[in-house]
Amino acid sequence: MNSTAPSPVRRRTFLSVGSNLGDRVRFLRQAIESLPDVVAVSPVYETVPVGGPDQDSFLNVVVELNTDMTPLNLLGLCHRIEANAERVREERWGPRTLDLDIIWMDGMEMDTERLTIPHPRWKDRRFVLAPMRDLAPELVSEQDLRLSEGSVIQTGDL
């Protein structure tokens, strides 16, 4: 009997990565280096926080993966990477050393208590849409960008 397991499905996936505490560039670089299957990284954007308390500006990037990880396994990895950056969850939308969000996975829709894909507010946030448009203009229209909230300034590459 010759049975082979089916190949895992690889999905084009986008993560938003941001930091507004400490050495923001170092936290972004370390997060990206910790991710598997990285295909591309957007330019860096300096962004004014949207929602939450008064706080310093963020540096944000979007990372494109081609991964066979399940959504929940990828979420677990994101949480471990945040913990390695000593992220503290004291206040919703408060300042943080590192924030990783799964924004979109090709062909994947889910809505559970732990995770919603696509991210429920991704089309509302310019700090997600501007860098994502750099990597996937077919997913983010100019109108999406105009209608989104926030202000962003492209600052260069990591």
Whole-number pLDDT of residue 48: 86
pLDDT in tens, the chain (158 residues): 555 677 789 999 999 999 999 999 999 999 999 999 999 999 999 998 877 667 889 999 999 999 999 999 999 999 999 998 887 666 666 688 999 999 999 999 999 999 999 999 999 999 999 999 999 999 999 999 999 999 999 999 98
Active site includes 99? Answer: yes
Indicate the SS3 state at residue 109.
coil
Q: Which of 87, 125, 126, 133 is catalytic?
A: 87
DSSP H/E element including 111: strand 110-111
pLDDT for the residue 85: 87
Given this model, what pLDDT does residue 2 score?
A: 55
Choice among 11, 29, 54, 96 that is catalytic: 96
Q: What token pair was written down for 133?
A: 């448009």
Report pLDDT for 3.
59
CA gap 104, 117 in Å, rounded: 6
Say whether 87 is catalytic: yes
| Architecture field, domain 11-156 | 2-Layer Sandwich (3.30)
Query: Which residue out of 11, 99, 126, 133 is catalytically annotated?
Result: 99
Q: Which of 11, 24, 101, 134 is catalytic?
A: 101
| Catalytic residue flag (residue 101) | yes
Q: What gap in Å lies between CA 69 and CA 63, rounded to an integer?
A: 15
